[in-house]
Amino acid sequence: MQELGMAEQGSIRVSRKDDNVVVIEKDLATEEMLLSMGPQHPSTHGVLKLECMTDGEVVTSAEPYLGYLHRCFEKHCEVVDYPGIVPYTDRMDYLTGMNNEWAYCIAVEKLLDIEIPRRVEFIRVMVSELNRIASHLVAIGTYGIDLGAFTPFLFCFRDREHILNLLEWASGARMLYNYVWIGGVAFDIPADFNKRVKEFVDYFRPKVVELYKLLTENEIFVKRTKGIGIMPADVAINYAWSGPMLRGSGVKWDLRRNDPYSVYPELDFNVPVPDGKFSDVGDCLSRHLVRALEMEESLNIIEQCISKMPGSEGFNPRSAVPKRVRPKAGEVYARAENPRGELGFYIQSDGKTTKPLRCKARSSCFVNLSAMKDLSKGQLIPDLVAIIGSIDIVLGEVDR
Amino acid sequence: MEEGRVLPQSVQQSAAAYAVIREQFGSAVSDFDANETMPFFEVLEAAKWPDIALFMRDHPKLKFNYMACLSGVDYQAEEQLGIVCNLESLGEFPHRIAVKVKCPRDGGSIPTAAYVWHTANWHEREAYDMFGMQFTGHPDLRRILCPEDWEGFPLRKDYRVQESYHGIKVPY
């Protein structure tokens, strides 16, 4: 915009656009209004309060208030022994129980320095990847609802139901599993489990494509998300974003690849990163796209697990489970790639008791949400909904 | 460290990174603890922590651009509180290291690192909320998980929960 000579006189600003249209703007600054979004607002995905200062439809600042679901996970850990903490981790991010348990078990196993049977590792990878798909389905489905698309939500939950049935068959519970134990798993998978999982994979592959057509390529959806809430890669790293959020900003970083654990080095899968053709790198659409593409990679991993898994002859899922967990004195920080990013556990053991001296959960949602204030500045109120949805928070994990 | 023991590659990388920091800051940092689960060093002069943090983030051989975690810890026996920061270099170098900073238990304070890594902002608020150490220079040091008017700091080892909160009996 080219400024004319008489610009900035009092509260009137005159400028000329490129096509020679003279624009006269009066100082229209309205009174700022405080708008409280939540704790019971449907688009905050739980109980999160956003205190927004708004200038008309524009959000000038949004301050998140959390803690409504704070259940003192870390305080509980001080009085519960190591295996007893596993069920608590389920209740942090209740959509991905398997992944949470596994991350915690990796940390304790590092302290104990024990060898895990190979079949157990493959079972863990398989149930976690199934759980990852289930979690992404909820993320994508509810994101659609946030932006006014109701049908994809029903489709996602229909398919998620198959996964929950499979995991219920293996562990006995639908969401809070207590299946991955320190040193092993609670039970071996049922006899025909792999066959059923293969059936699910074959069933689900076309459904992913269907979901692309229904939601990802939907013009209304693209217009609501493309170019909204752009996060540059270096800022994302400085905010310690992880998982699909970080990859959405174009950083190819996946703990399964970059800090490999379990049997992931043997498995062949891609780390999807947006290339900027369909979406603007770092925007809400990129983050959604990464989740959608990751589901297909998870399907590939599951298929490889089925073919590579050692047989069940003479297999005892609890053979490496220690009778009494009392690690030597020391500290550990171990993490795993959860559907929402890096879930890390910092554990401090004094070597004398069967309870940890300190157990801290580094929650991926908590860290991802901390960028909300910067991300929301200058956005429209409806876009704020799109941004929160794209962060894919689970308040159970934010507040722990 | 035992003589002649071969360290794993990851610990060797951390040790190499530590050597660069030691060269710059000398006695402000402690010796390197080369354990296998979480190699760390301690900042002995807490006032130098922001300088060390900035040095670690920006030095061309270190580039610790990613703060994975910051945990508050109560060292009751030593009458101290502290933080443990897990740092790594994302996409630049394969090394990672943990840094500990401690302060006195009563009225202690640690300089903030929130201007070096944005993510430290909320982590430090959480550590303050749970342990009660001050972070000097922090842009917005308020409680984050507990209510604003909660009494005491829950994760201290000698914490006693308050009797009632707004007329509600708390211990059950």
Domain harbouring B143, CATH code: 3.30.460.80
Q: What is the pLDDT along chain A (400 residues), one digit of tens a residue?
A: 444 444 444 455 566 666 667 666 666 666 788 888 878 777 777 788 888 888 878 888 888 998 888 888 888 888 898 999 999 998 888 889 899 999 999 999 988 888 888 889 999 999 999 999 999 999 999 998 888 888 889 999 999 999 999 999 988 888 888 899 998 898 888 888 899 999 999 999 999 998 888 888 888 889 888 888 888 998 999 999 998 999 999 898 888 888 888 888 888 889 989 888 888 888 899 999 999 999 999 999 999 989 988 888 888 888 888 888 888 888 899 989 999 889 999 999 888 888 888 899 999 989 999 988 888 888 888 888 889 888 888 888 888 8
Alpha-carbon distance of A1 to A267, in angstroms, equals: 54
For chain A, say whether B27 makes contact (Cβ under 8 Å). no
Query: How close B68 comes to chain A (CA, Å)?
Result: 6
Chain B 100-129, CB below 8 Å of chain A: which residues?
117-119, 121-123, 126
Longest dimension (CA), chain A: 88
Q: Are residues A80 and A12 in the same domain?
A: no
Alpha-carbon distance of B92 to A49, in angstroms, equals: 37
Name the residue of chain B whose CA is nearest to A395's CA.
B145
With beta carbons less than 8 A apart as the criterion, state whether A130 and A167 touch.
yes
3-state SS class at A177: coil
CB contact under 8 Å between A344 and B69, yes or no, is yes
Burial readout A59-92 (b: 16 or more C-beta within 10 A, e: otherwise)? beebebbbbbbbeebbeebeebebbebbebbbbb
Q: What is the ipTM of this complex?
A: 0.89
Query: How close A355 comes to chain B (CA, Å)?
Result: 14
User: Mean pLDDT in chain B?
Assistant: 86
For chain B, say whether A49 makes contact (Cβ under 8 Å). no
| Residue range of the domain that includes A361 | 73-374
Longest dimension (CA), chain B: 63
With beta carbons less than 8 A apart as the criterion, state whether A387 and A369 touch.
no
CATH number at residue A191: 1.10.645.10
CB contact under 8 Å between B68 and A344, yes or no, is yes
For chain A, say whether B69 makes contact (Cβ under 8 Å). yes
> Does an H or E element contain A119, and which?
helix A118-146
Q: Report the domain count for chain B.
A: 1
Contacts of A360 in chain B (CB under 8 A): 69, 71-72
Q: Are residues A213 and A352 in the same domain?
A: yes
3-state SS class at B79: coil
With beta carbons less than 8 A apart as the criterion, state whether B126 and B144 touch.
yes
Q: Are residues A12 and A148 in the same domain?
A: no
Phi, psi of B118 (to 5 degrees): -55, -35
Q: Report the domain count for chain A.
A: 2
The reply to whether B151 falls in a domain is yes
Sequence-ordered list of residues with C-beta below 8 angstroms from that of A315, at least 6 positions apart, any chain: A117, A119, A188
Q: Are residues A85 and A9 in the same domain?
A: no
Q: Are residues A1 and A129 in the same domain?
A: no
Alpha-carbon distance of A99 to A130, in angstroms, equals: 10
pTM: 0.87
Phi, psi of A77 (to 5 degrees): -60, -25
Contacts of B130 in chain A (CB under 8 A): 74
Alpha-carbon distance of A80 to A60, in angstroms, equals: 45
Tell me which residue in B38, B66, B144 faces A332 most closely, judged by beta carbons: B38
Report how many Cβ contacts below 8 Å link chain A to chain B.
Answer: 89
For chain A, say whether B161 makes contact (Cβ under 8 Å). no
| Residue range of the domain that includes B107 | 9-169
Alpha-carbon distance of A259 to B53, in angstroms, equals: 23
Suggest the residue from A367, A374, A377, A395 to mutate for an interface test with chain B (most B CBs closer than 10 A).
A367
The reply to whether B158 falls in a domain is yes
The DSSP secondary-structure symbol of A214 reads I
Q: What is the pLDDT along chain B (172 residues), one digit of tens a residue?
A: 445 567 788 888 888 888 888 888 888 888 888 888 888 888 888 888 999 999 988 888 888 989 989 999 998 888 889 999 999 888 888 888 999 999 988 888 899 998 999 999 999 999 999 998 889 988 888 888 888 888 888 888 888 888 888 888 887 7
